[in-house]
Amino acid sequence: MSTRLPGGLRLGRVAGVDVLVRPSLLVMAVVLVVLFAPQFELVGYSSPVLAALVLVVVLYVSVFLHECAHLAAARLYRMPVSSITLHLLGGETVIEGESRTPAQELWTSVVGPLTSLALGGLSLVAAPHTPPAVEGILLASAYVNLVVGVVNLVPGLPLDGGHVLRAVLWGLLRDQSLATVVAARCGQVFAVAALSLPFVLARTRGTSVQLFDVALAALIAWFLWSGAVQSLRATRWAEALDVIVARELALAEPAPDDAPPLPADLRGVALLRSVAMNPAPVYVLVDDGGRPVGSLRASDVDAAYRRATD
């Protein structure tokens, strides 16, 4: 799950949402085939490359289902989703805007890893009841899905587990910005920790450090670090914008009859999003009971935005 802007080739649409594929996915697909084909050859597959190709397709379908779980949860909470993107290290579902409550953030995040764990568990249970050629592929898929599920639950942003941690801290501390900073800092700690993986693997295998493991660990560390930094930046930006309060920009003069209503207590990112999604020159500000309390000019919101971000 992410709030990053998407980019990539459009594969199609699911439930009104664009499914995009980044070219980096093809690089990873080739790497996975090269990695898994020798394993299939070792266990006696007559067409190991074909088996590895089938496995890669199964894995990307699994990633897609993981993202669909995020999409379904976001839809349940009526949060707009613009795209699902499949890329080098898995996938991301672009949800527009932040969660409004800790519970929203918790459920839209946790359903992804739970789906991966469920797919892994199902593959593991089904494998012994299938022909040997299918069994090997299902066991490999079970292994990868279980790893994906567990890794995604690691409590650091930008991972799903980081969003779960942020939701829990947000619920406990009642401070979304502080929760984001803590979850992002945890993400940075895990990014640095990821760099030690090749050494841990070499030690457990009793071999020397493998170049492939170093490259993969560096890639994972970069992904975690840049995602965590992006979350910190987004929080600082949201904090800077929080000084813009609709009620404080209100004019006493009545709004025209056709002016769209806007809650007077809207502020910061939520206010800018509402104005962007429903453009008009003037809005009528309303209180909790829907009673008009003044008017708000869009140009005044623009000016306040420029002052806040200067």
**Interface residue list for Zn ion (CB under 5 A):** 112, 160
Nearest-angstrom CA–CA distance, 53 and 37? 8
Which C-beta is closer to Zn ion: that of 114 or that of 122? 114
Closest residue by beta carbon to Zn ion = 112
Nearest-angstrom CA–CA distance, 228 and 158? 6
Q: How far is the CB of 264 from Zn ion (least distance, A)?
A: 36
Q: How far is the CB of 267 from Zn ion (least distance, A)?
A: 30
Q: How far is the CB of 66 from Zn ion (least distance, A)?
A: 5
Q: Which amino acid is at 80?
A: P
Which C-beta is closer to Zn ion: that of 224 or that of 249? 224
Which C-beta is closer to Zn ion: that of 102 or that of 112? 112
Nearest-angstrom CA–CA distance, 266 and 91? 33
Q: Which of 217, 212, 211 is CA-nearest to residue 197?
A: 217
Nearest-angstrom CA–CA distance, 170 and 264? 24
Which C-beta is closer to Zn ion: that of 148 or that of 241? 148
Q: How far is the CB of 165 from Zn ion (least distance, A)?
A: 14
One-character DSSP codes across 216-236? HHHHHHHHHHHHHHHHHHHHH
67 given a catalytic annotation: yes
Point out the catalytic residue in the list 41, 67, 96, 239: 67
Helices (H), the chain: 24-42, 48-76, 102-126, 132-152, 160-173, 176-194, 197-205, 211-241, 268-277, 298-309
Nearest-angstrom CA–CA distance, 93 and 112? 10
* Residues forming the active site: 67
